Structure 1
Amino acid sequence: MSEHPQTALLQALDRHDDLAIAVSGGVDSMTLAYLTHRFGRHPVRMVHAVSPAVPPAATARVERHAALHGWRLDVVGAGEFDDPSYRANPANRCYFCKTNLYGRIRGLTSGTIASGANLDDLSDYRPGLIAATEHRVVHPYVEAGIAKVGVRALAARHGLDDLAELPAQPCLASRVETGIAIDAGDLAFVDLVERELAALLPKGATLRCRITHAGAVVELDGAGAGGGAVAATHAAGLAQAHGRTFLGVRPYRRGSAFLR
């Protein structure tokens, strides 16, 4: 990668002398936090929100990097579970999630809030971006013209290999079919299944545990010939232990829990 993408990103960041970055624990926001802290002209604070929809591993990753790199980090409650509109899980659930998130961050700072949204996010249905607009959140990657592949390249360039190789990991609530009320127990079950199956499947396999109106299902891509059988056997055992109906394994389909 040439120097230009990083230069353009830092130019976008340096326009704000008081910046707070919403850090989820994924490659986008984590890399943004790292680059801003290391190369930005102005002090920056990182804000990580915890909730049942955020995998504990993501929180641990944020805290580990904050300690390693010396970030100023605030960990707050996301607050979305107090919002009945969010818990109802409508098609625009992400709008209510981000509204609560940015409201919590605004309570900490009067400065500019930045997200890790990249160019690829603009091509998807992202109601959370509406909430971002309403809260005047800036998107430095978008401003700099950087897509997901560029974010991963930046992470790799700076030796952030644990971030560069992170699989896409949307919030746990994205696994729940539209119209099923968001429940902390469902999200904990999803996290359990995905963590245990990830340890059994080839590195790089795409894995989702979905909560559907009919029961739980596992979606897989890149797990190899025997991966489906391994996943089916283990997930069936977990479902039985937790009193859940297991529907089996099917091919991964992005956003399949989203019903409009």
Structure 2
Amino acid sequence: MTSAASRPVRIGAQLAPQHAEYATIRDAVAQVEAMGTDVAFNWDHFFPLAGDPNGLHFESWTILSAWAEQTSTIELGALVNCNSYRNPDLQADMARTIDHISGGRFIFGTGSGWFERDYDEYGYDFGTVGTRLDALAEDLPRIEARWASLNPPPTRKIPVLIGGGGEKKTLRIVAQHADIWHSFSSPDVLEHKLGVLAGWCDKVGRNLAEIEISTELRGRSVEEADRLYDLGARLFTLGLSGPHYKLDRLTGWLAWRDGKNAV
């Protein structure tokens, strides 16, 4: 069993697929890998979340498939997939396929969805926060069952990353299914949420130490990152957006990672 104390710090880069030509995105992930970043993420939306709302934008899963073929060492996934946009069995098959393309480097990041414009313009039922979370809870067992029945099976136990911090439903789903839990919590909030998550883990018979704690670096100081580290966070992701991905922002955080892992 892996505990936070023995788990190494990892640095992720989330390359938001907005406001950039695909060639720029492709070059950015190549540079991110060459720099020694541990994980490359994108996100699962159909329109930009910042800047011109009708600016350039590309679809998540097809990008991930291209990245899987293009790269050789970095792990990759969405931060996060929207469960509402694709049948759960299809999601499982797509994830298994990218797992094979990448040689076992795919992370299945998922969540219940929240961006209403995506739903409205692509014809999905937006529902409510509660109904979307209920659908995620219902679909994850189907995804796991499909992985167990596919031929060929995944190359490894595909890590499941779940994003979100809702205490009544999301953290219960995390306790039941996640290998990685991602949130945007401040240190004080993370400390509280970890207590809630530990309670859910006790209820479902799970050890909290099995779950890697993931958080966002954008806007954080080193002091805040140190506090998050002390609370057990080990995957730290820096969000970057087109049209020009400012990859120099990763350099200091990669050095910070190396310092933590050298202790």
TM > 0.5: no
Structure having the higher Rg: 1
Q: Which bin holds the TM-score, normalised by the shorter protein?
A: under 0.3
